[in-house]
């Protein structure tokens, strides 16, 4: 199933992101997590690609297994970092041989310890080049890409970031998934700016339920997303109490999702960090509204 077809037939889509675990025990835990999320009938699940191609084998293995055994459509993340064009060609052919139909084309974050992304001379400089290469090689694949409602931290300006996004979409991208954000107004403003700039592909909202104060500060520092002051105050008031932080996080994400559904978002994509409790709690609160919109 091509994700773009699902978006047109039944939006908002519902999807979950996982990363490939390090060892076999982690894999078994993850399969259990995926099973526990199945009752929410996800449109697809995505599997991340580790910094510097470090999870190449594990990402491909997990994606192939999800496709073969789970009955859920996988979306394979793929990054440019440290790969030659020939290697990327092999990976994409491999995915195609496993009947994977959806790839998320990303530049990628540099490996641990390397401050900035450096393109290989025989590789790709950005996600646009990667998407264009895959589009030419396998025209039937459905391609997604990342977008950044609060602007990518390395972009010269919001306008430059949007120009780059337009070029990326024009290279053959079918849909976009946002970086995590906590203020829906940032998302709506960004969606309007995309439309004004001629970026008309569906934009799926990336949702991360806050599970820990320390962790969310680290993530937002890395990706340039802001934590709204009222949310930050609520988190900091209970930051030593894991259950209370989780409660605040689930409540905020639930309100975000309900508002996004009302405002015709193309999809909700949950950054699960391989856990299911918070995502399942949110799903319980939004499922009736999702059902009304999608008929699912």
CB of 233 to ligand FAD, least distance (A): 26
Residues in 64-93 that interact with ligand FAD by CB under 6 A: 77, 79
Residue closest to 258 by CA, chosen among 8, 12, 4: 12
Catalytic-role residue among 6, 17, 101, 150: 17
Q: Does the footprint of ligand FAD cover residue 168 (CB under 6 A)?
A: yes
Q: Which of residues 249-268 bind ligand FAD (CB under 6 A)?
A: none
Q: Which of 128, 234, 246, 252 binds ligand FAD (CB under 6 A)?
A: 128
Q: Which is nearer to ligand FAD, 100 or 245 (CB)?
A: 100
**Given candidates 58, 67, 98, 152, which one binds ligand FAD under the rule CB under 6 A?**
152
| Residue 245 binds to ligand FAD (criterion: CB under 6 A) | no
Binding residues among 3-42 for ligand FAD as defined by CB under 6 A: none
Element containing residue 204 per DSSP (H, E): strand 203-207
3-state SS class at 89? helix
In angstroms, the CA 223 to CA 286 distance is 27
Whether residue 6 lies in the annotated active site: no
Q: How far apart are CA 125 and CA 122, in angstroms?
A: 10
- Residue closer to ligand FAD, measured from CB, 116 or 214: 116
By CB under 6 A, is residue 123 in contact with ligand FAD? no
By residue count, the chain amounts to 296
* Residue among 177 and 290 whose Cβ is closer to ligand FAD: 177
CB neighbour list of residue 205: distance below 8 Å, 6 or more residues apart: 178, 181, 187, 256, 260, 265, 266, 267, 268, 269
In the complex, the smallest distance separating the C-beta of residue 176 from ligand FAD, rounded to whole angstroms, is 8
**Contact between 53 and ligand FAD (CB under 6 A)?**
no
Residue 18's H or E segment, with its range, is: strand 13-18
Burial of 183 (0-12, 13-18, 19+ CB in 10 A): middle
**Single residue of 177, 265, 278, 282 touching ligand FAD by CB under 6 A:** 177
Q: Decide: is 174 part of the binding site for ligand FAD (CB under 6 A).
A: no
Among 34, 66, 106, 207, binds ligand FAD (CB under 6 A): 106
* By CB under 6 A, residue 107 contacts ligand FAD: yes
Q: Which of 68, 51, 80 is nearest to 92 (CA)?
A: 80
Contacts of 182 (CB under 8 A, 6+ apart): 225, 226, 227, 228, 231, 252, 256
Give CA–CA dist 232/40, Å, rounded: 29
Biggest CA–CA distance in the chain, Å, is 52
Kindly list the residues in this chain that would bind ligand FAD in the complex (CB under 6 A).
Answer: 48-49, 51, 77, 79, 106-109, 126-128, 146, 152, 154-155, 160-161, 164, 168, 177, 179, 206
Q: Which residues are catalytic?
A: 17
């Amino acid at each position: 199933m091509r994700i773009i077809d699902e978006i047109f037939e039944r939006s908002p889509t519902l999807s979950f992101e996982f990363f490939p675990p390090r060892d076999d025990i982690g894999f078994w835990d993850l399969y259990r997590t995926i099973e526990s999320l199945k009752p929410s009938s996800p449109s697809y699940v995505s599997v991340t690609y580790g910094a510097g191609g470090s999870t190449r084998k594990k990402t491909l293995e997990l994606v192939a297994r999800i496709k073969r055994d789970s009955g859920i459509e996988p979306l394979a993340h793929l990054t440019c970092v440290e790969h030659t064009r020939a290697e990327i060609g092999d990976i994409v052919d491999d995915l195609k041989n496993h009947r994977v139909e959806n790839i998320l084309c990303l530049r990628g974050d540099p490996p641990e310890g390397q401050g900035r992304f450096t393109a290989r001379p025989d590789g790709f400089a950005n996600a646009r080049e990667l998407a264009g290469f895959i589009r030419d090689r396998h025209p039937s694949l459905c391609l997604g890409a990342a977008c950044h409602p609060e602007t990518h931290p390395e972009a010269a300006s919001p306008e430059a970031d949007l120009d780059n996004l337009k070029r990326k979409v024009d290279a053959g991208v079918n849909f976009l998934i946002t970086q995590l954000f906590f203020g829906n107004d940032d998302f709506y403003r960004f969606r309007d700016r995309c439309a004004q700039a001629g970026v008309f592909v569906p934009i799926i909202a990336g949702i991360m339920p806050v599970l820990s104060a320390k962790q969310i500060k680290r993530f937002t520092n890395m990706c340039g997303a802001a934590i709204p002051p009222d949310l930050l105050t609520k988190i900091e008031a209970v930051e030593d109490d894991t259950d209370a932080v989780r409660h605040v996080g689930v409540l905020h994400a639930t309100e975000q999702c309900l508002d996004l559904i009302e405002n015709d978002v193309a999809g909700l994509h949950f950054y699960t960090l391989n856990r299911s409790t918070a995502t399942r709690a949110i799903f319980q609160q939004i499922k009736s509204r999702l059902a009304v919109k999608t008929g699912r």
